[in-house]
Structure 1
Amino acid sequence: MRINIVGSSGCGKSTLGQHLARELALPYIELDALFWQPNWTPAPDPAFLARITTALSAPGWVLDGNYDRTRPIKWANVEVVIWLDLPAWRILLQVLKRTLRRSLKGEVLWAGNRETLRKALFSRDSILLWAITQLGPIRRRYRAVMADPSWSHIQFVRIQSQQALTALRTDPRAFLTAVA
């Protein structure tokens, strides 16, 4: 099975991705880990796209992340795209909690990077600001791509409630079969 989990920052892509990978015995791939280099330097597109191509060469995987420019590569052979489209209040709460946890604990992220409260909450690069301003555009984009016949080979699953998310987490195979 080849699954891509998408949605806004803080919606729970990584948490769900890691869980599904464990439950389905598939490799877990995080696009942020392929994109970010030391000192929060973005990877140049040729290197980033090459890393994705290599990572997706396995017969099955759970991939988390958006990065629209990667869609032709990641969706060429994907079977299921799970769009975590939870309520805005929940996403913002999750972003805030995650940012506080990472910052206060000094968690090491991709390529040795760390979030700081100042940058994460009080700068133009604020992840909280990003989540707030990008929620609407992300919803418009995914509604459009789900209707695009270019992607008709993909089973799209839109998760809009905690109940649906819990059902998916409880028995992923049964849930994905039921919504097919």
Structure 2
Amino acid sequence: MILPIVAYGADVLRKKALDIEPEYPQLDKLIADMWETMYASNGVGLAAPQVNRNIRLFVMDSAQIFEHQEEDDKGQYPDEPGVKKVFINAHIADFGGDDWSYNEGCLSIPKIREDILRPEEVTIEYLDENFQPHTETFNGITARIIQHEYDHIEGKLFIDYLKPLKKKMLQGKLNDISKGKIKVDYKMVFPK
């Protein structure tokens, strides 16, 4: 089932999400619905707070970026052909490499894209969908998507990395999003 995506301005996007237990009600269905919602919205990652669940869960599929890449860009990133994973109760252990810029967007903040600096590597501790523990290091586009989605479960948004003047220049667009004055081709829920 495709779930509505919560728009910028909703309280759930600013809360630190909570760890969950294996008994979390209908977790398998929620994960399946999040995959369906992410793909239907042309996203590469989706965090539970974006579908109005205040829990430490996100899904990501960086392979989509590589599948739709121009021929000239192939081989540019070390994580090609990409990674598809579920992250539960994730906690970042470390960052590595240099910061690099990439043009990011967010399903909860539609029609706004900005260049954001993030470290090229991330080491993260998490549980998979079977609640098996993992500690892995990711790099390239995959590391970026993980950091973006991880921010969601920490109550942070990609626009928080912008300089104050740039953010102020976007305030009108952000206000329009929170008021529902925006058209997107996926289901959205706007703050009341």
Q: TM-score w.r.t. structure 1 length?
A: 0.27
Structure with the higher helix share, 1 or 2:
1
Structure with the higher strand share, 1 or 2:
2
Q: TM-score w.r.t. structure 2 length?
A: 0.26
